[in-house]
Structure 1
Amino acid sequence: MAERAQYEELVRQFSAFGAVKREMGRIMPADCHSGSAAVLTLLGRHGDMRLSRLAELLSVDLSVTSRHVAHLAERGWIARSPDPADKRSRILRLTPAGQTQLDELFRRTTQLLAERLGDWSDEEVGRLTQLMARLRDSFGEGRSTARPAPPPPHPAPPALERTTRTPAST
């Protein structure tokens, strides 16, 4: 197991990785924010699914997922149809326009990565890909191993004695 200092450095790197995500977000079309891109990507990867499954994969609340879906449906990028197994539920699927949008997102992000990682070797890019996939799997669904309890927080400072002042009587 890695030393605590290594995990602390990893936390710092994750925090700094936000800059990478922000730059990737800036290359997206104006009407396709990161939540929309995530929904399109998941539907492209996993195929048709219920809204509840999509929320699970996104790791966000159903109401947030529903807003993303409404945004995409308004643009014609996804379609919602009744679930044959449960008419109260809807099945979400990419439309041809949604697939075109997804292809454009992949084209833009691939181009950006090729520009920024152009001085990396094929081996380095492959290793990064492997490690990121492994990291994602470590946090992914179906992870059934019990997680250890987080370490206790640093001891709280002793409580300051509270004093009450009353106005002096005159």
Structure 2
Amino acid sequence: MAAQVQYEELARQLSAIGAVKRDLGRILPPDCPGGSAAVLTLLGRHGDMRMSKLAELLAVDMSVTSRHVAHVAERGWIERSPDPADKRSRILRLTAAGHIQLDELSRRSTDLLAERLADWSDDDVGRLIQLMTRLRESFGDCRSAPRLAHFAPAAESVADRTTRTPA
């Protein structure tokens, strides 16, 4: 098992991933903000779905999901059809224009990663993918509430360290 200091460094490094995400966000087309890109990506990955399923996958409130869906629908990237099983619900589906936009998003992110990781070997990139996949799987379904009991001792130990006076 890794030492506590390694987990602390890992937490710092994971926080720094925000810089990578911000760079990826900067390359999005002006008419396709992050929430819209997430909707397109999830529909591309999982196929047609109800709004409730999309909200669950996005891990956001239904009102936030509705705004994102309205944005992509206004641009013609998705269509909303009545759900045959429940006429009150809508099924979301990528349109041809949505597939084109999704391809453009993929191209932009792939190009940025290729540029930034140009000095990495294929093995290093493959290992990063493998480790990030494993990390994500270790967290399981992140939409569920965290087990707070596991966080309390760590928070106390950090507080103890910051309030200690040097000997």
- Shorter-chain TM-score range: 0.7 to 0.9
Q: How far 1:4 moved relative to its partner? A: 2.2
Q: Distance in 2 between matches of 1:71 and 1:143?
A: 24
Q: How far 1:151 moved relative to its partner? A: 2.4
Count of aligned residue pairs for this structure pair: 156
Answering whether residue 153 of structure 2 is matched by residue 154 of structure 1, we say: no
> TM-score under structure 1 normalisation?
0.83
Q: What secondary structure is seen at the aligned counterpart in 2 of 1:120?
A: coil
**Are the structure 2 counterparts of residues 139 and 64 from structure 1 closer, same or farther at C-alpha, using a change threshold of 3 Å?**
farther
Query: Mapping of 1:42-53 within 5 angstroms?
Result: 42-53=42-53
> What does residue 24 of structure 1 align with?
24
Matched-pair contact (CA < 8 Å) for 2:40–2:94: yes
Q: What secondary structure is seen at the aligned counterpart in 2 of 1:89?
A: strand
**Are the structure 2 counterparts of residues 70 and 18 from structure 1 closer, same or farther at C-alpha, using a change threshold of 3 Å?**
same
Q: Distance in 1 between matches of 2:143 and 2:35?
A: 24
Q: How far 1:142 moved relative to its partner? A: 9.1
Q: How far 1:137 moved relative to its partner? A: 2.2
Q: How far 1:138 moved relative to its partner? A: 2.6
> What does residue 81 of structure 1 align with?
81
Q: Distance in 2 between matches of 1:2 and 1:116?
A: 29
Q: What secondary structure is seen at the aligned counterpart in 2 of 1:154?
A: helix
- The farther-off stretch of 146-155 and 54-63 is 146-155
Query: Where does the alignment leave 5 or more consecutive residues of structure 1 unmatched?
Result: 158-170
Aligned partner of 1:151: which letter? A
Answering whether residue 164 of structure 2 is matched by residue 132 of structure 1, we say: no
Aligned partner of 1:66: which letter? S
Q: What secondary structure is seen at the aligned counterpart in 2 of 1:104?
A: helix
Query: Mapping of 1:108-119 within 5 angstroms?
Result: 108-119=108-119
**Are the structure 2 counterparts of residues 140 and 52 from structure 1 closer, same or farther at C-alpha, using a change threshold of 3 Å?**
farther
> TM-score under structure 2 normalisation?
0.85
Report which of the two has the higher share of helix.
2
Q: Distance in 2 between matches of 1:77 and 1:119?
A: 36
Q: How far 1:102 moved relative to its partner? A: 0.3
> What does residue 60 of structure 2 align with?
60
Matched-pair contact (CA < 8 Å) for 2:24–2:112: yes
Q: Distance in 2 between matches of 1:9 and 1:142?
A: 21
Q: How far 1:29 moved relative to its partner? A: 0.2
Q: Distance in 1 between matches of 2:99 and 2:3?
A: 44
Q: What secondary structure is seen at the aligned counterpart in 2 of 1:92?
A: strand
Q: Distance in 2 between matches of 1:106 and 1:143?
A: 25
Q: 1:74-103 deviations in whole A, cap 9, x for unaligned?
A: 111111111111111110010100000000
Query: Where does the alignment leave 5 or more consecutive residues of structure 2 unmatched?
Result: 161-167
